[in-house]
Amino acid sequence: MLRQRGNGRMRVRVHRGTQQIGGTVIELEASGQRLLLDCGLPLDAEVDDAAVIPAVPGLTEPEASLLGMVLTHGHRDHWGLLPRAHPALPIYMGRATERILAAAAPFVPDVQTIKAAGYLCDGQGLTIGPFAVTPSLVDHSAYDAYALTVEASGRRLFYSGDLRGHGRKSQLFEAMVARPPQRIDAMLLEGSSLGRLGQYDRFPTEDEIEARLMERIRTSSGIVLIAASAQNIDRVVSIYRATKRSGRTLVVDLYAAEILRATERATIPQTTWPDVVLFTPQHQRVKIKNEGLFHVLDQHRNGRIFPEDLAAAPGRFVFLFRGSLLADLKRANCLAGARAIWSQWAGYLNDERGKGLVAALAEIGLDLEVIHTSGHASIADLQRLARAVAPRSLVPIHTYDAARFPELFDNVVVRRDGEWWEA
């Protein structure tokens, strides 16, 4: 049945993403064979909810015409359905993404250690059946993130994945604008910032975030708690640099230490550095004991500190913080004169956990100040990229505001979820 559909053109079906941010799933078909680009979980969904599984033959049951799944980056809204995928389905992703997911697996529910069938490398073509896939490393709040150019049956599709032009790797974005993929028939362009940012507004750069963090650290007498995702490596680097330039030491927990180690990159802060130390909260000490993770802890033994170290000189430290660490810090008696900063998407503060954290901090007299910048491109940057690529058709994805695309971009074709169309 599927084989008969192949009529010499590449066809595309966005299962989820034409009308929403999160849970992106894109299916391509050429010569009767198919490939998935991303397979994400919607932001507020549970992976065991059957309603989130798209109707893709071969995703949950073996079906030879589905050749595999290419994951652009390690955000759950792009890979979160992996636990539901058939275990024999080949998965392609960046090497560092594979390592980071493996490092996160002991600490984060529903994260699995996956052995990739092949790896995405910047500029290196990958052949998967009739699909020639060329990844381009991009600037995003996830490490090791790619945009994809896919050629099949004489058609060329460019999928932006998630990207931005104002992070620590902004030169990647500028290089893509200067030397865009050529002869693109269809461009799937993310539009996360539409509806969140004015047309002519810009987001702060990571350098600006670093400067603002440094100002707050320098004017604090006590410990500075910065709530950020350890997997937002750009942000961890900004926090580390602001910490170091303030003459302080960065404290990370075992989860964050493991994520940083998994980057295997010499320029990214590690607990082997003199100004980065490990603090193991009670729940992680229990986990280490119960799950036999002493070999994991051992990787970070040189830079360990303990509650009494935090209490002795809290003003020496900046803590890469999560709400689950607050009880340990209270017990350590190190919060006099503390400052708390929220350095991730402010929307998370509206959910139960976010509200709980704000309330728990208020109880001990701490406000939570937001210092953050987006992982997604401003509208002006998206326009520059779209003009450079100049596709025959531009299809909105990863957006709540597809209806606004036609006034901002040329050649826009708004598609519906589940609809097959020719690239």
Binding positions for Zn ion, rule: CB under 5 A:
75, 77, 142, 162
Cβ proximity to Zn ion: between 77 and 139 the closer is: 77
Residue 12 phi, psi dihedral angles, 5° rounding: -130, 140
From the CB of 375, what's the least distance to Zn ion, in Å? 6
C-alpha span between 371 and 231 (Å, rounded) = 17
What does the DSSP 8-state code read for residue 230?
Answer: T
Please state, in angstroms and rounded to a whole number, the distance separating the CA atoms of residues 376 and 381. Answer: 10
Measured from the Cβ of residue 3, the count of other Cβ atoms closer than 10 Å reads 10
CB 75, min distance to Zn ion, A: 4
DSSP-derived 3-state class of residue 25: strand
> Which DSSP symbol is given to 322?
-
Tokens 């607990």 -> residue: 271
CA distances, 207 to each of 44, 214, 242, 376, 384 (Å): 31, 11, 10, 16, 22
Phi, psi (deg, nearest 5) at residue 260: -65, -40
Give least dist CB 275 to Zn ion, A: 29
Please identify, using beta-carbon distances, which residue of 71 and 250 lies nearer to Zn ion: 71
Query: For Zn ion, which is the closer residue by CB, 12 or 142?
Result: 142
Residue closer to Zn ion, measured from CB, 67 or 103: 103
What's the closest the beta carbon of residue 414 comes to Zn ion, in angstroms? 19
Give the residue with the Cβ less far from Zn ion, 142 or 335.
142
Sequence length of the chain is: 423
For residues 373 and 203, the answer to whether their CB atoms sit within 8 Å is: yes
Residues 166, 172: Cα–Cα separation, whole Å? 10
The span from the CA of 36 to the CA of 87, in Å, is: 15
Which string of DSSP letters, residue by residue, matches 115-133? Answer: --SEEEBTTB-EEETTEEE
User: How far apart, in whole angstroms, are the C-alpha atoms of residue 1 and residue 10?
Assistant: 16
Task: Please identify, using beta-carbon distances, which residue of 162 and 328 lies nearer to Zn ion.
Answer: 162
The CB-of-377 to Zn ion minimum distance in angstroms stands at 12
Which of the 8 DSSP states describes residue 302?
G
Nearer to Zn ion, 23 or 354 (CB): 23
The minimum distance between CB 85 and Zn ion, in angstroms, equals 18
d(CA 376, CA 73): 13
CB of 84 to Zn ion, least distance (A): 18
CA distance 164 to 196: 14
Residue 77 or 206 having the CB closest to Zn ion: 77
What does the alpha-carbon distance between residue 97 and residue 263 come to, in Å, rounded to a whole number? 8
Of 73 and 287, CB closest to Zn ion: 73
Helices (H), 75-226: 76-79, 95-104, 170-178, 206-218
Residue 38 CB, nearest approach to Zn ion (Å): 8
Distance in Å, CB of 140 to Zn ion, minimum = 6
- Distance of closest approach, residue 239 Cβ to Zn ion, in angstroms: 19
CA-CA distance, 287 to 291, in Å (whole number)? 6
- Cβ proximity to Zn ion: between 144 and 185 the closer is 144
Do 37 and 78 meet the contact criterion of CB atoms below 8 Å apart? no
- Nearer to Zn ion (CB atom), residue 238 or residue 246: 238
CA distance 347 to 15: 25
Please state the closest distance from residue 162 (CB atom) to Zn ion, in A: 3
